[in-house]
Chain A
């Protein structure tokens, strides 16, 4: 049976640890068939990177701007939508940055760890959609 849930958090880095715990608790709740344990690590990293992008780029660290997170599980894959108040990205593909650069690895990690990453604008609202095929 498919499973879905949503939550909204403020644009605060203090919410990152509870967010990771939330995802782990969902994995424990729904079990292996919908959310294999091996998917928890890549999904956690990708989720945190997407939320980092929303906090620092889309919202410029304005804590009052909300970030919406939805998670859908159907036994074939895991889909995470991270919605923000920004205008989106033209290109979500990312090469690995120069090794001495201290920036630019977030999108790269999202692309490497997830099956698909898209930047969507739906009804004027931006979201990053990330899919992990089981």
Chain B
């Protein structure tokens, strides 16, 4: 999995490419939790280059969401392909996460909350 972090104002945009699965959750967790420890609480997970997610990948996103919501932050997911979107819908996580069309739209939503 490739993760690229881009900061847009107060928002951390994590561009994820490849697979978010049992093999890559530890790497994702390290990057995301280090940002949380550094004070970040607004995250956009850009999934436009993500082609696969399993239940462990979903689990790490929920875990991140729990952490940042405790600090009145949020995690928005963006750019889901059809397969990843289907997994979100089957597991009903599209109700838990704010699912945005793309990362720019997700960042704008954070900006509108100011």
Contact = CB atoms under 8 A, between A and B. Distances in A.
Contacts of B93: 99
Interface string A74-113: 0000000000000000000000100111111110110011
B21 A108 contact: no
Interface residues of A, number: 26
B19 interface: yes
A105 B66 CA distance: 17
Interface in B83-100: 83, 86-87, 90-93, 95-96
Interface stretch (B30-38, B41-49, B55-63, B104-112): B55-63
Interface string B12-31: 00000001011100000000
Main secondary structure on chain A at its contact with chain B?
helix
Interface stretch (A14-22, A25-33, A122-130): A14-22
B23 A105 contact: no
Contact of B59 (A55, A102, A113): A102
Contacts of A101: 62
A99 B65 CA distance: 11
A100 B62 contact: yes
Nearest to B66: A100
A99 B83 contact: no
Contact of B87 (A16, A45, A104): A45
Contacts of A113: 90
A9 to B, nearest CB: 13
B90 A16 contact: no
A106 B55 contact: yes
B55 A41 contact: no
Nearest to A99: B96
